[in-house]
A and B are shown apart, each in its own frame.
Chain A
């Protein structure tokens, strides 16, 4: 069975400061990993995904994530946040096989302060 743990439920951060959102996964099979962002009253938007290859993945809006197989982690980072990055962020895993479902972490709410 898969599980995804986001270690921080809320992360306050000042504008232009860096931010890191932590995600750990567990799976008995190889997985694809994703980060999604959800703005208030909206659906989920894909920020980035790890399928294979380079462990450093770059996404939209200046976000990047690093896949670490030995630590079963997929932490999300941004070197300098903007007010508009205030949102909820979800880490998710998908087994590397057809027809399987996304498993989401509990979410991390990022509040960017001026």
Chain B
């Protein structure tokens, strides 16, 4: 099976813009989680989607949002970008909410100028 894929791999935006990141989970996996990784804050959970519904949410402002489609693919959107949003955004998938192992994609490196 193909692994978790994320597009694009690299992105440069300016403050105030918005951005959409995409994640395709492993075939058959119905849960997708998003994480933000920064040198200062480490790995932080953003949210998890299952069956097109957000099931869990981390402590991020409302500028961070996501959605999941019927084919389990997920998108994450950040509006009104700030310099501090520069990070590696990782997507992870698992078969379902009762499955403990998550498989991570390579990430999208977002730079906000």
Contacts and interface: CB of A to CB of B under 8 A. Distances in A.
A42 interface: yes
A44 B43 CA distance: 11
Given A44-B90, A106-B42, A49 B102 contact: no
B104 A99 contact: no
A99 B4 CA distance: 20
Given A99-B56, A100-B56, A43 B97 contact: no
Contact of B58 (A41, A51, A101, A105): A101
B102 A43 contact: no
Contacts, number: 48
A99 B99 CA distance: 9
Contact of B42 (A46, A49, A100, A107): A107
A60 interface: no
A102 interface: yes
A49 B99 CA distance: 13
Contacts of A100: 56
Given A44-B90, A49-B100, 19 more contacts: A32-B100, A41-B106, A42-B106, A43-B90, A43-B105, A43-B106, A44-B92, A49-B101, A90-B43, A94-B100, A99-B48, A99-B55, A100-B56, A101-B48, A102-B92, A103-B45, A106-B42, A107-B42, A107-B43
Interface of B: 4, 33, 35, 42-45, 48, 50, 55-56, 58, 90, 92, 97-98, 100-107
Interface of A: 32, 36, 41-46, 49, 51, 90, 94, 98-107
